[in-house]
Structure 1
Amino acid sequence: LPTWETQLLSSPDDGSCRRTKFAVTNALWTTRKTKPVFDPLKLPTVQRSGDLGTALLDRLERIYKEGMPGNNDVLLPMEPLWPGPLFQGKPMRVAYQGVRGSYCQEAAVRAFQRCDALPCEGGMDSAFEALESNDADRAVVPVENSLDGVIERNYDLMLRHPDLHVVGELLLPINHCLLAVRGAGKRSPAVKTVVSHPQALAHCQQRLLALGVQMEAVDNAARAARFVAENRLDDTAVIGSEIAGREYGLQVLEEEIQDDSSNTTRFLILSKPNN
Structure 2
Amino acid sequence: MEGVGRPPGDEAGGRCAYQGAPGAFSHEACLDLRPWDEAVAYDSFEAAIAALQSGEAGCALIPVENTSIGRIEPAASLVEAAGLNVVSEVWRPIRLALMGPPGSRLGEVRTAESHPAALGQCTGTLAGLGIQPVEAFDTAGAARAVAEAGDPTRAAVAPVRAAEVYELSILRNDIQDSEDNRTRFVLLSPQAG
Using the size of structure 1 for normalisation, the TM-score is 0.61
Asked whether the 8 Å contact 1:196–1:218 carries over to 2, the reply is: yes
Shift of 1:114: 5.2
- Tell me if structure 2 keeps the 8 A contact 1:138–1:269: yes
| Bigger RCO (CA 8 Å, 6+ sep) | 2
Matched to 1:99, the amino acid is A
Cα distance change on mapping 1:242 and 1:93 into 2, 3 Å: same
Q: Which residue of 1 aligns with 2:171?
A: 253
- Whether contact under 8 Å (1:178, 1:254) holds in the other structure is yes
Q: Choose which of 50, 53, 59 in structure 2 pairs with 1:129.
A: 50
Query: Residue 208 of structure 1: which of 96, 115, 126 is its match?
Result: 126
Highest Rg: 1 or 2? 1
Shift of 1:247: 2.3
| Structure 2 letter corresponding to 1:146 | T
Deviations 1:47-106 (A, max 9, x none): xxxxxxxxxxxxxxxxxxxxxxxxxxxxxxx422347x995342x311002233322212
CA 1:86/1:250 → structure 2, altered by over 3 Å: closer, same or farther?
farther
- Correspondences of 1:1-275 after superposition (within 5 Å): 78-82=1-5, 88-90=11-13, 92-113=14-35, 115-121=37-43, 123-151=44-72, 153-162=74-83, 164-187=84-107, 190-211=108-129, 213-220=130-137, 221-273=139-191
The AA in structure 2 aligned to 1:147 is S
Alpha carbons of 1:216 and 1:259: their partners in 2 closer, same or farther (altered >3 Å)? closer
Gaps (5+ residues) in structure 1? 1-77
Instruction: Please provide the CA RMSD for this pair.
Output: 2.6
Instruction: Give 1 or 2: higher strand fraction.
Output: 2
1:150 CA drift (Å)? 2.0
Unaligned runs of 5+ in 2: none
Structure with the higher fraction of residues in helix conformation: 1
Residues matched between the structures, number: 191
Task: In structure 2, give the amino acid aligned to 1:107.
Answer: A
2:85/2:192 contact within 8 Å kept: no
Kindly indicate whether the alpha-carbon contact (under 8 Å) linking 1:82 and 1:113 is maintained by their aligned counterparts in 2. Answer: no
Residue 135 of structure 1 deviates from its aligned partner by 1.2
What is the TM-score when the length of structure 2 is the normalising length? Answer: 0.83
Deviation at 1:130, TM superposition (A): 0.9
Amino acid at match of 2:4: L
Matched residue SS, 1:132:
helix
Q: 1:177 to 1:167 in 2, by over 3 A?
A: same
Q: Distance in 1 between matches of 2:105 and 2:150?
A: 14
Provide the rounded CA distance (Å) in 1 between the counterparts of 2:41 and 2:26.
9
C-alpha distance in 2 between matches for 1:199 and 1:96: 15
- Give the 3-state SS of the residue equivalent to 2:60 in structure 1: strand
Q: Percent identity?
A: 34
Q: What is the alpha-carbon distance in structure 2 between the residues aligned to residue 115 and residue 241 of structure 1?
A: 21
